[in-house]
A and B are shown apart, each in its own frame.
Chain A
């Protein structure tokens, strides 16, 4: 302890440090003043604006609130600003370690290394604390003048000070340790970047490997494209452990509060004061541990490391391998074949060579380092192999049926069938003929029989392997593998959840999955959706929703070639009766009746949500109008839909199903239909065809078109379907002229067995 007593040399060293780095706390304070109160004033924080607008609606003396900084935009950057000033502070204060000349002076004059470290380190800590404290203090003072929340301001201000300071302190301590380990500035900055982003790099690598090699893993990087899932990515899954996110949430929550003096919003914000102190203390303690490690390393640091490239081989190699492996693993997004692994090895080695060259400052003698990336490739290869062979049972795991409380599964059918507002033509523009279902419709199945059905499907998905899609030239339709994105989530009786995701599957499996639609749970859902779909998401009661639906919807009827559109004048009660009839008929459908109808439908009911408010009811309006606005449901009526047909007959609308036309031309388009849209063609999403009116196929499919002779018309008209779960058939366009002389072209589907 004797050496740490304040003697003359120590005092002098402190003076020298203060004189040399006085600009540092000043600079940091200026930055924090700009970031916290500065932007709050300059941007006229929306929190302030809300506060004031609230003040206009309630009595001023009942208003209470504050806004220490902008909690909408700037708050997102506060963690990064704190990390930035910590990074720079550590660099400036310990920069002498990177100069042989400078360190000879500081290491050989006056104080011990331990004292020198403490003086410099503490100067940085005090500077960070001062800058955070002063900027928050200014924010508090500004708020005191405009709000009546002084007591809460001070308590939240103190809490925020500790939160911001702990974060900056921890970052700073980590940076100091890295400074002591490195020999050059560039090594330091690259190492800090590597260490700070290590979590992301590891997750990226794992995610990409899982994507290519581990069937069933539910975490994916990309979202919004056909190959990626809608389930949270592995980043999002583990984002709770994110250091920056944790602090950002505190800053967002505690930076502002407004409302009535005893209102819930305000109480909530103020209550955050005591919610996470343990974590903040933990972060501070982690910072202290790093400081201790830094102190030990500093005392033992070899002076000859200064100016030495890649002074710490372990650190530089670890960072380099992390960067190169995560970058190279992106190749697995394109596939997981042997050649992808070869490419991965090449990219990893190349990126390793580039990054390690930057660390070492020379390009020569790289061959001496090659065993390291080779070893990394070997380890990664084993990891890939483990994943490929099921991730130690991960891929093939299915919970015991007795342990399952309920199960949810996404599938490519459409239980929202016929539901107004989300009809299956809603999404599609005029260019698409196939249903693009949202697969996030995951109804809970609890009945043992239903759970068994899902388990059977799960076994098929495991057998399918999720290894990629089939070649375009495949002819075995059932064995063809396509993109799907199927999720299965088991909720176990102990409350835990197990989720599996399958990116590709065989068409035979898709058709098997349609069985799900005929479980009790989905039939109930189907019934509910026709009349109440959207009630929950609009925060309406079912009664409110149905009332609105009945009052605003309009129903039209047409023959199966859309030659004649007739508006049905139905009262609200009659509409509900019609909906009930449809429900009763359609809920008893079999898979084949709904998705592979054997007989031609006799007519179509079109239910539109906006029929009364615009001119959609105009018979002259083209039918495809309905497909492009607000989602019009097409209900295809077949002979066995007894209740619907009886109801229409009783009301005198059945005649609308009678054709009044002459067929003038039929053209046949060979399948495959989307040569330039491979993704759609190879996706399970476009398995469900529905008919469209007056759309031009020739532009896209001219090379495949063949005009049929009149002698073939009858056969085509009998076999063409308005909807079908496609199995590699053909499209036909049927051109008709009705009694009013209106020409119309309808696109239908011709199943392959015809």
Chain B
């Protein structure tokens, strides 16, 4: 289990994260989402023990003990961090990388490593420096999965992978959870992959944790509504429904809301009659967009 308590991080005068609180349970894949520069990598760096938070505390459970991760050897033995730009020793090959990590991770599995190398069809003797960006990412994922640690942190690990590889990595993470257990945190923009594999999603918005919930709970909460009314009503009515992304076409309104269908209907009936009322489940990327408050972008005139 990983527990974040009111964690904040500042770089000089710039505040990267503010008051982040979350609990990441064991035996789960946790998806960390947020727009570029939201602070996902900073949060992972703090969870891994690389950065020290300015305020708040982080605890990681190791052998029943809640440990602070910064420079903690116990945490280091049980955590592997696949960064968004992985580092390899000079002139490293996959085999030398295996030898490097093997000595630091007591559960490191050479057989898993070899199987993964075959699965990804990489040359273990070739210099990693000569690999493509995607192959370097694969090499890092191979190292992380082979270490068989309790906590596996992946930062933008789907980036640079082709569609087949994304599926493969998604499946491998699910398999890892089933076989090895532990906790996997995946920070990504690729919401499609996350939606399929994650149990829990944490979204960072405006330097803060917008929510950190089970994915089923999110799906249950966020719905897209399409209603046809007998007359036009003021927008303030929808605002009171905590709507997001309201669109209006005549008397037909489309919006996203976390309110229950019953509450919405009751509020609308106080102003008008409902001719049509439809509710649809949302995909993760739609929830992301709704939560981020994305409006219509104006493209016209950019290339004039």
Contact = CB atoms under 8 A, between A and B. Distances in A.
Interface in A1-43: 3, 8-9, 11-13, 15-16, 20
A455 interface: no
B87 A99 contact: yes
Interface in A95-124: 99-105, 107-113
Interface string B65-88: 000000101001101010101110
Contacts of B103: 8-9, 11-13, 15-16, 110
Instruction: Provide the main secondary structure of the chain A interface.
Output: helix
Given A104-B83, A108-B81, A9 B52 contact: no
Nearest to B81: A108
A299 interface: yes
Contacts of B89: 20
A303 B50 contact: yes
Contacts of B52: 302
A302 B86 CA distance: 20
B86 A108 contact: no
Contacts of B83: 101, 104
A20 to B, nearest CB: 7
Contact of B50 (A11, A99, A107, A111): A107
Contacts of B85: 100-101
Interface string B89-107: 1100000000011011110
A108 B101 contact: no
A102 B88 CA distance: 8
A449 interface: no
B51 interface: yes
Contact of B11 (A16, A104, A304): A304
Interface-central residue, B48, B87, B89, by most chain A CB under 10 Å: B87
A interface, size bucket:
20 to 34
A391 B11 CA distance: 45
B76 A105 contact: no
A296 to B, nearest CB: 13
B49 interface: yes
Given A15-B103, A101-B86, A108 B73 contact: no
A130 B49 CA distance: 36
A108 B48 contact: yes
Contacts of B87: 99, 101-102, 104-105
B11 A3 contact: no
Contacts of B101: 109
Nearest to B155: A104
Contacts of A299: 71
A9 B73 contact: yes
B51 A108 contact: no
A365 to B, nearest CB: 13
Nearest to A102: B87
B11 to A, nearest CB: 6
B254 interface: no
Interface string A381-411: 0000000000000000000000000000000
Given A20-B89, A101-B87, A303-B45, A110 B77 contact: yes
A108 B79 contact: yes
A11 B89 CA distance: 18
A112 B74 CA distance: 9
A103 B104 CA distance: 15
B104 A110 contact: yes
> Which of A13, A16, A103 has the most CB atoms of chain B within a 10 A radius of its CB?
A16
A110 B76 contact: yes
Interface string B24-55: 00000000000000000000010011111000
A8 B105 CA distance: 10
Interface string A422-450: 00000000000000000000000000000
Contacts of B49: 107-108
A104 B77 CA distance: 14
Please indicate which of the listed interface residues B48, B71, B85 has the most CB atoms of chain A within 10 Å of its own CB.
B71
A111 B73 contact: yes
A11 B87 CA distance: 22
Contact of A9 (B45, B77, B81): B77
A299 B90 CA distance: 25
Contacts of A113: 71
A518 B50 CA distance: 81
Nearest to A3: B73
Contacts of A105: 87
Contacts of A9: 73, 77, 103-104
A16 B100 contact: yes
Interface centre among A11, A109, A299, A302 (most CB of B within 10 A): A109
Interface in B262-288: none
6 contacts: A8-B103, A100-B85, A104-B45, A108-B49, A111-B73, A303-B45
Interface of B: 11, 45, 48-52, 71, 73, 76-77, 79, 81, 83, 85-87, 89-90, 100-101, 103-106
Which 7 residue pairs spanning A and B have beta carbons closest together? Answer: A12-B103, A110-B104, A101-B87, A109-B104, A303-B50, A102-B87, A105-B87
Interface of A: 3, 8-9, 11-13, 15-16, 20, 99-105, 107-113, 299, 302-304
Given A108-B81, A109-B104, 12 more contacts: A3-B73, A8-B103, A13-B104, A101-B85, A101-B87, A103-B50, A104-B45, A104-B83, A109-B101, A110-B73, A110-B104, A111-B76
